[in-house]
């Protein structure tokens, strides 16, 4: 695996941001639901 490959970094960043966004969205939804109760 060549770490200097731009495709590798792009894929890695997309995966990281997707996970980060989904986690933030889940936390936001959790807060909304806990406030609404």
In degrees and rounded to multiples of 5, residue 23 shows phi and psi of: -65, -45
Residue 7: pLDDT band with limits 50, 70, 90: confident
Whole-structure pTM value: 0.52
Average pLDDT, the chain: 85
**Which of the pair, 13 or 36, is modelled with greater confidence?**
13
More confident residue, 9 or 20: 20
Binned at pLDDT 50, 70 and 90, residue 4 comes out as low
Residue 2: what pLDDT? 59
């Amino acid at each position: 695996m060549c770490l200097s490959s731009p495709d590798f970094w792009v894929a890695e960043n997309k995966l990281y941001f997707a996970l980060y966004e989904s986690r933030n969205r889940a936390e936001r939804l959790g807060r909304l639901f806990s406030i609404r109760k």
